[in-house]
């Protein structure tokens, strides 16, 4: 079983990398981009066979290590 975790900065948290990407896109002629938020995706191979238990375990991983929950939000998807 695989899990995909998407981690993004919370709304209202300054995203300097996203702003740098937006600026670079403008420099390349992509003028229609008014904002960029960048994040990260983590895929985990799990031995669990129970989807709900796996999702709960991955959420605990996010809370303990994978995400800085003070400034980041995360979403867990079992795939």
Contact 74, 21 (CB under 8 A): no
Question: What is the pTM for the complete model shown?
Answer: 0.89
Q: Is 17 helix (H, G, I), strand (E, B) or coil?
A: helix
Across residues 51-73, what is the average pLDDT? Answer: 98
| DSSP class of 10 | P
* Measured distance CA(14)–CA(25) in Å, rounded: 18
CATH of 2-78, one of 3.30.1440.10, 3.40.50.2300, 3.30.1280.10, 3.30.950.10: 3.30.1280.10
The pLDDT of 50-67, averaged and rounded, is: 97
The per-residue pLDDT for range 21-54, each reduced to its tens digit, is 999 999 999 999 999 999 999 999 999 999 999 9
Domain segments of the chain as ranges: 2-78
Q: Are 4 and 77 in contact (CB under 8 A)?
A: yes
């Amino acid at each position: 079983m695989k899990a995909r975790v998407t981690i993004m900065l919370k709304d209202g948290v300054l995203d300097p990398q996203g702003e740098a990407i937006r600026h670079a896109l403008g420099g390349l002629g992509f003028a229609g981009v008014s904002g960029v938020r960048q994040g990260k995706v983590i895929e985990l191979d799990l031995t669990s066979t129970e989807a709900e238990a796996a999702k709960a375990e991955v959420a605990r991983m996010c809370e303990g290590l994978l995400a800085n929950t003070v400034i980041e939000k995360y979403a867990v998807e079992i795939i």
